[in-house]
A and B are shown apart, each in its own frame.
Chain A
């Protein structure tokens, strides 16, 4: 059965605390942290973007898969912050990692679920026997407008998953997608920051789609929430995934391992994929993993994975995401953060 043969996740070392942003805009730091269940978020270095994050995550995935990059037949990167409007991020990644040139490459976009789209299509290719391996990546250096609620959470990071049918470390047992036209969050061409419809992003958007995909997948698969060792949901803030999980019947203990948002922020297309990587870092053979992403616009992709006997053999072959999150944290004040995120207008472009 097809599934994940290698995985990797990466976040930059820079951080800004929620209270630093709150103080900048006259907010109450304690109320913000309590409301979002979030301490701090990752910030990309000045020399980092979706491509460099994807390359690092995919390099770790290759280390774990222990395969030749030349055997990868497809590369898909899902992101809402591709550095180029016209020139695929995947073209740079394949040349950085020695993949191709006989390879199918595409960039995906679906707000925060572009990463699971990439994973789904990569898995579909190997499941259908089109190719030996395919890689799906979710990564972002997401932006929130200064002073907007999104600024507290929009962060940087990503995860990569190599799909195959041999030496599988986590089998894909079931998938389910749930999609509708829901204008909860959007960014039009030439606009720098996204717009959102406030509280409409909650019940009619996030919860409708997460619960729709989650309930549909449970019904089709005949599994019950208590069958799963772990569950991970898209993490736009700390509260939403815990509440969605509870509404589906999952306990906090099943969600905690992949719940990175309190120390990472919302890595958008990399959010639930990075949480999945954290779970794969500790899962044991036989463990069932429940995953549902969410992308505004809106839709959710669901996956049920089962860890195999091979997973413990590859867990230590690359850095684990919680270790990456814990080491070499370099905190920024708001001025440096604004500089790193290119929020400052200069006299001449630099």
Chain B
């Protein structure tokens, strides 16, 4: 990923910044220009909570470039407390430990780098919430 695109996406990838429709209250992540529920173009910026639950998951055995060393790894759809759903890796656990509705916490991790010399791309992943 080139530096300009990476920089544009920092608010979402680093801080889970979303936009809430001022008219109907729907939260959009990533932000949109027009609310798909009420077509309003007025939004306020909100930071999503880092707590959520697993809706579903799969295990990637044949990874894309840049993820070769991580296979097999878990990709899940996570629903955060605000109702926003996002796709991310679940780390620091085995697939056998996962369950639908299992509580997770979003953490800040390295995602990928195009080569040893290129920028390190950071972002969000999920870990199981442990008591």
Decide: A84 and B92 in contact? CB cutoff 8 A.
no
Chain B positions 5-60 with a Cβ under 8 Å from a chain A Cβ: 10, 14-15, 47
Known contacts being A45-B91, A98-B15, is A327 close to B130, with CB within 8 Å? yes
- Total A-B residue pairs with C-beta atoms closer than 8 Å? 54
Decide: B109 and A92 in contact? CB cutoff 8 A.
no
The answer, yes or no, to whether A272 is at the interface (CB within 8 Å) is: no
Q: Choose one: A47, A83, A96, A98; the contact of B91 (CB below 8 Å).
A: A47
**Shortest distance in angstroms between A179's beta carbon and chain B's nearest beta carbon?**
32
Decide: A95 and B15 in contact? CB cutoff 8 A.
yes
CA gap between A92 and B15 in the complex, in Å: 11
Contacts of B98 in A (CB 8 A): none
CA gap between A330 and B110 in the complex, in Å: 19
The answer, yes or no, to whether B69 is at the interface (CB within 8 Å) is: yes
CA gap between A47 and B74 in the complex, in Å: 14
Contacts of A98 in B (CB 8 A): 15, 47
For A324, give the chain B residue with the smallest CB separation: B130
The answer, yes or no, to whether A49 is at the interface (CB within 8 Å) is: yes
Known contacts being A13-B92, A45-B92, is A96 close to B110, with CB within 8 Å? no
Decide: B14 and A95 in contact? CB cutoff 8 A.
yes
Decide: A349 and B120 in contact? CB cutoff 8 A.
no
**Shortest distance in angstroms between A191's beta carbon and chain B's nearest beta carbon?**
16
**Shortest distance in angstroms between A104's beta carbon and chain B's nearest beta carbon?**
20
Q: Mark A62-97, 1 if CB is under 8 A from B, else 0.
A: 000000000000000000000110000000100111
* Number of A residues with CB within 8 Å of any CB on chain B: 24
Known contacts being A47-B91, A96-B15, A98-B15, is A83 close to B120, with CB within 8 Å? yes
Contacts of B111 in A (CB 8 A): 47
Contacts of A49 in B (CB 8 A): 110, 120
Contacts of B91 in A (CB 8 A): 45, 47
Question: Interface of chain A, helix or strand or loop or mixed?
Answer: loop
Contacts of B68 in A (CB 8 A): 350
The answer, yes or no, to whether B70 is at the interface (CB within 8 Å) is: yes
B interface residue count range (under 10 / 10 to 19 / 20 to 34 / 35 or more): 20 to 34
Q: Choose one: A46, A56, A97, A328; the contact of B130 (CB below 8 Å).
A: A328
Decide: A47 and B115 in contact? CB cutoff 8 A.
no
For B111, give the chain A residue with the smallest CB separation: A47
Contacts of A83 in B (CB 8 A): 120
CA gap between A327 and B129 in the complex, in Å: 11
Q: Choose one: B89, B115, B122, B125; the contact of A92 (CB below 8 Å).
A: B122
CA gap between A46 and B92 in the complex, in Å: 10
The answer, yes or no, to whether A243 is at the interface (CB within 8 Å) is: no
Contacts of B93 in A (CB 8 A): 328
Known contacts being A45-B91, A52-B109, A327-B130, is A84 close to B122, with CB within 8 Å? no
For B50, give the chain A residue with the smallest CB separation: A59
Decide: B122 and A328 in contact? CB cutoff 8 A.
no
Contacts of A187 in B (CB 8 A): none
CA gap between A46 and B91 in the complex, in Å: 10
Q: Choose one: A48, A327, A328; the contact of B109 (CB below 8 Å).
A: A48
Chain B positions 73-110 with a Cβ under 8 Å from a chain A Cβ: 89, 91-93, 107-110
**Shortest distance in angstroms between A348's beta carbon and chain B's nearest beta carbon?**
9
For B66, give the chain A residue with the smallest CB separation: A350
Q: Choose one: B47, B70, B108, B122; the contact of A46 (CB below 8 Å).
A: B70
For A344, give the chain B residue with the smallest CB separation: B69
For B115, give the chain A residue with the smallest CB separation: A349
Taking Cβ atoms with an 8 Å cutoff, the residues of B that contact A are 10, 14-15, 47, 66, 68-70, 89, 91-93, 107-111, 115-116, 120, 122, 125, 130
Taking Cβ atoms with an 8 Å cutoff, the residues of A that contact B are 13, 45-49, 51-52, 55-56, 59, 83-84, 92, 95-98, 327-328, 330, 339, 349-350
- Please give 5 more A-B residue pairs, beta carbons under 8 A apart, in addition to A47-B111, A328-B130: A47-B125, A51-B122, A52-B109, A56-B107, A92-B14
10 A-B pairs with least C-beta separation: A47-B109, A47-B110, A96-B14, A55-B108, A349-B116, A13-B92, A96-B108, A95-B14, A52-B109, A350-B68
